[in-house]
């Protein structure tokens, strides 16, 4: 019997992500998968710039991963827009926004 968290993604997804990001844990690969889902959902929106700086190729990985866990594209867009607005207005850091998004996500269950 394997120890630790059960895998959330199909093995095929893990294999693809492992080729792109060698030497990282399966948990980190899960986070990257959620991050990519959020980026796909936010493509073409104004809010993507808050979470991803294309010029510097820097992403707010923890925020995008938390958004990706929401699953639904429209919900991701809605929550991302609200979090970006609050983050800009109140000058909140990544950790505070991550906690806020996670609390919202967990309240949906």
Mean pLDDT (the chain, rounded): 89
In sequence order, the 6+-apart residues with CB closer than 8 A to the CB of 92 are 86, 100
20 burial level (CB within 10 Å; 0-12, 13-18, 19+): exposed
Instruction: Evaluate if pTM is beyond 0.95.
Output: no
In sequence order, the 6+-apart residues with CB closer than 8 A to the CB of 70 are 76, 79, 105, 108
Report which of 7, 78, 69, 4 is spatially closest to residue 35, judged by C-alpha positions.
Answer: 69
Question: What is the domain partition of the chain in residue ranges?
Answer: 11-107
Given a cut of 60, whether residue 1 has pLDDT beyond it is no
The model's pLDDT over 19-61, given as tens digits with 9 standing for 90+, comes to: 888 888 888 888 999 999 999 999 999 999 999 888 888 889 8
- What does DSSP say about strands 58-59 and 52-53: parallel, antiparallel, or unpaired? antiparallel
């Amino acid at each position: 019997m394997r120890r630790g968290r059960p895998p959330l993604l199909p093995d095929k997804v893990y294999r693809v992500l492992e080729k792109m990001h060698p030497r990282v844990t399966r948990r980190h690969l899960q986070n990257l998968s959620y991050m990519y889902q959020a980026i796909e959902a936010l493509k073409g929106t104004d809010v993507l710039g808050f979470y991803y700086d294309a010029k510097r190729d820097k992403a707010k990985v923890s925020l995008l991963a938390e958004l990706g866990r929401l699953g639904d594209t429209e919900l991701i867009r809605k929550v991302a827009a609200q979090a970006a607005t609050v983050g800009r207005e109140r000058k909140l850091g990544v950790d505070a926004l991550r906690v806020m998004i996670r609390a919202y996500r967990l309240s949906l269950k």
